[in-house]
Structure 1
Amino acid sequence: MNPNARQSDSLPAPGADALAQSEALTALIRERMADAGGWLPFDRYMELALYAPGLGYYSGGAMKFGRRAEDGSDFVTAPELSPLFAATLARPVAQALRKSGTRDLMEFGAGTGKLAAGLLNALADLDVPFDSYSIVDLSGELRERQSATLEAEAPVLASRVKWLDALPEEFAGVVIGNEVLDAMPVRLVVRKLGAWHERGVVELDGRFAFDDKPLAADPLVATIDTAIDAVNDEPFAEYVTETHEAALAFTKTVCAMLTRGAAFFIDYGFPRHEFYHAQRAGGTLMCHYRHRAHADPFLYPGLQDITAHVEFTGIAEAGVDTGADLLGFTSQARFLMNAGITDVLTDIDPADARRYLPAANAVQKLLSEAEMGELFKVIAFSRGIDETLDAFAAGDRSHTL
């Protein structure tokens, strides 16, 4: 048995086929580790664990998105939690399309297709003219699920959806990325008694383990070093955190591609001065397996999600560096309330308890500070939009970045 497939007492064991996939991925990682001299940077490990063709978590056939562990899924996203999320997001999307005079949409990491179907239907209900909806997703299995969802839930509009294998050089319209940035590979770095090290992966006693190497001068790490000292009064014997090169590069690519319109990114994380707080001295890396969060990225490689919180100040800087405008930054709760989620909820008759109560409970999770409302943020960039959108009109936190 693959020793990296050890089972935690609190986590259910995968089936035989899933374990075989994990063992195949583990063998591939071992090969890449040997090619690298026995030490693999963590971001390379994370990239393979999530995206190795046919074997990684997002490129393989795992269920991933769902509401309960019993259905084989690992976590739930806002579009899966409630159709009111898409119906509400459609309002600022529609406003951005109108203000920019564009007619096309693009979504990254479309999951099961729930958000795409909901947005298409809501935009049609709002009488917003649009020509195409492009989806960028690396997973063939997810493309099939997205297509099936669109045919079932948006049959009249499904023909306007296309899947892209490569990004266009230019795009005019609205870009959406819900929980995309957190799934980008991160580098792990650790400051020990004032000296920085990069955390990598080695094989120790037949299983993967962390191993640290001294790190040469690095501009991004220097920025982190300054930020840690600026927001914390006491020095740390050890401080572990992440660098987000992949997410920063992705943001720059999208904002450079955008010639007119807006790009919305929705994810969990913090501005820089909160990200490097003492509460996060152990880093933000976490894993999701069967709707349970834990801290072992080496458990069941390829069968669990590995993620890190987003450092939004860096994301804002990356977008603005391309010449795009920062359209707004706020909490998910404020964004959805500004966009009118309570109005969308009132479209359901409160007298119909079987429909209204589950919808109201889902909205509470989307808005509550104890649930998704505060941890999740919305950041948007634009070109060719002179004024802010209603969704950022109150409670914009751009000044905190």
Structure 2
Amino acid sequence: MQKLSLPIPASEALAASQALQQQIAADIHRHQGWIPFSRYMELALYTPQTGYYSGGAAKLGKDGDFTTAPEMSPLFGASLATLAGTLFAQTLPQVMEFGAGTGKLARDFLTECQFSGITIERYFIVELSGELRARQEELLRDFPQVVWLQEMPAAFSGLVLGNEVLDAMPVDLLVKTEQGWAELGVTLAAQQADTTEPVLAWQERACEASRAAQIPQAEALPPGYVTEIHTVARGFMRSLGAMLQTGYADSGKGSAVILIDYGFPAAEYYHPQRSSGTLMCHYRHHAHPDPFYLPGLQDITAHVDFTAMAQAALESGLSLLSYTSQAGFLLESGITDLLSRSAPEQAMQYLPQANALQKLVSPAEMGELFKVLTVGIGMTLPERLLRHDRCHRL
């Protein structure tokens, strides 16, 4: 593989990555010399203290590795709050957020609720990382409605939010060979003479038929085709379904799940021309394809197969309410009305927000790449949110 030309990490960060590499190597040894890529991705992202999302380095914004919509503009969270105000008539006035990051989305959401008089009793954040929770607690100290959870509860009724959650869930990699489908996992190569660090390498293994069956038109794809399957994210969707089903039985109130992420429906995801898959890594605002580079210091993501997510939701008893672009969703949720609160004459305040809105909704920026999947139980969306619906593409 071509040597990457990326910023050199600080010595402390490099030591943390090297420690994680040793932990990954030990895990590979425990599993007879091979682990699925999903296991490697789990260790690289979520190992306590050294994993990417569990360590202390900044992840978001200009000093981090990437920027998310809530970090770009408070209009994003405010738009979701405006929508929530119309949905709470059908459910309990409470929210559960997954993947809360710095807590910026929660703060903007709750600030808009305060401003607009939207009653919200509880804002639950499901957070496994102690470091992220500490950041969130500091940012949200003025909002007593916020409650932190370490795991998904058995029952819930309300609004569930997940912005860029599904793309960070571990995926498995499959490759089409001349003999059929195989699974791409991670093994240890022979160590180089000038280093004591473990050298991670790819290795193919036989693939269970049930895994290849998750790929539409799998037999028609050419040899050499590499792609992902989303076993963990499917399981997450089924768990959401079970939680909301129980909540509906307990409270008689409906629930909605709004998931915002970059991805495609299955027909586009597994297109013959997408022959290298969608796996991508982000290190200090540099995107590159090598997941073995400095594990623990870079993000590893894959685009979302929204058809698979919708299918898992339906299988768990939820209804498919909407699938649309981020642009259509935000515009119909009233984001331009929120911008109009700032006077154009006040350029210092107005122009940054107008520029951020442009990035959020422009087809050339995030507006088309990011999609919004809404599923739920006992809920009906406002008619305006269905104007740009694309459920037929799933």
Pairwise same-fold verdict (TM > 0.5): yes
Q: CA offset at residue 279 of structure 1?
A: 3.2
Q: CA offset at residue 112 of structure 1?
A: 0.4
Q: CA offset at residue 194 of structure 1?
A: 5.5
2:389 aligned with 1:396, yes or no?
yes
2:342 aligned with 1:348, yes or no?
yes
Counterparts of 2:166 and 2:190 in 1: how far apart (Å)?
34
Counterpart pick for 2:154 among 137, 161, 169: 169
1:277 maps to 271
1:328 maps to 322
Q: CA offset at residue 266 of structure 1?
A: 0.5
Task: Tell me which amino acid in the other structure corresponds to 2:68.
Answer: T
Q: What SS does the aligned partner of 1:172 have?
A: coil
2:377 maps to 383
TM-score normalised by structure 2 residue count: 0.93
Q: Which runs of 5+ in 2 are unaligned?
A: 192-198, 249-253
1:243 maps to 229
For 1:166-245, what aligned pairs fall within 5 Å after superposition? 166-193=151-178, 195-206=180-191, 207-218=199-210, 220-226=211-217, 229=220, 236-245=222-231
| RMSD of aligned residue pairs (Cα, Å) | 1.6
Q: Deviations over 1:360-380 (max 9, x none)?
A: 111111011121111100011
Q: What SS does the aligned partner of 1:76 have?
A: coil
Counterpart pick for 1:297 among 277, 291, 306: 291
Q: Deviations over 1:269-317 (max 9, x none)?
A: 0011111113321000000000111000001110100000000001001
2:129 maps to 139
1:22 maps to 17
Counterpart pick for 2:44 among 30, 41, 49: 49
Residues 40 and 137 of structure 1: is their aligned pair in 2 closer, same or farther, counting only changes over 3 Å?
same
Q: CA offset at residue 117 of structure 1?
A: 0.4
Q: CA offset at residue 391 of structure 1?
A: 5.5
Residues 391 and 257 of structure 1: is their aligned pair in 2 closer, same or farther, counting only changes over 3 Å?
farther
Q: CA offset at residue 216 of structure 1?
A: 3.0
Residues 391 and 79 of structure 1: is their aligned pair in 2 closer, same or farther, counting only changes over 3 Å?
farther
State the aligned residue count. Answer: 379
Q: CA offset at residue 356 of structure 1?
A: 1.1
Counterpart pick for 1:288 among 282, 307, 324: 282
Q: Percent identity?
A: 50
2:194 maps to none
- Does structure 1 conserve the Cα–Cα contact (< 8 Å) formed by 2:91 and 2:157? no
- Does structure 2 conserve the Cα–Cα contact (< 8 Å) formed by 1:332 and 1:372? yes
2:91 aligned with 1:101, yes or no?
yes
Task: Tell me which amino acid in the other structure corresponds to 2:183.
Answer: E
Q: Deviations over 1:34-72 (max 9, x none)?
A: 011111111100000001111110111121111x2xx2x
- Does structure 1 conserve the Cα–Cα contact (< 8 Å) formed by 2:214 and 2:229? no
Counterparts of 1:190 and 1:21 in 2: how far apart (Å)?
31
Q: CA offset at residue 222 of structure 1?
A: 1.7
Counterpart pick for 1:90 among 60, 81, 85: 81
Judge which range, 281-290 or 165-174, deviates more: 165-174
Counterparts of 2:56 and 2:384 in 1: how far apart (Å)?
36
Counterparts of 1:311 and 1:302 in 2: how far apart (Å)?
25
Q: CA offset at residue 7 of structure 1?
A: 7.3
Task: Tell me which amino acid in the other structure corresponds to 1:367.
Answer: V
- Does structure 1 conserve the Cα–Cα contact (< 8 Å) formed by 2:98 and 2:127? yes
- Does structure 1 conserve the Cα–Cα contact (< 8 Å) formed by 2:216 and 2:270? no
Q: What SS does the aligned partner of 1:27 have?
A: helix
TM-score normalised by structure 1 residue count: 0.91
- Does structure 1 conserve the Cα–Cα contact (< 8 Å) formed by 2:256 and 2:377? yes
Q: What SS does the aligned partner of 2:222 have?
A: coil
2:256 aligned with 1:262, yes or no?
yes
Q: What SS does the aligned partner of 1:381 have?
A: strand
Q: CA offset at residue 237 of structure 1?
A: 2.8
2:196 maps to none
Q: CA offset at residue 228 of structure 1?
A: 7.1
Q: What SS does the aligned partner of 2:174 have?
A: strand
Q: What SS does the aligned partner of 2:364 have?
A: coil
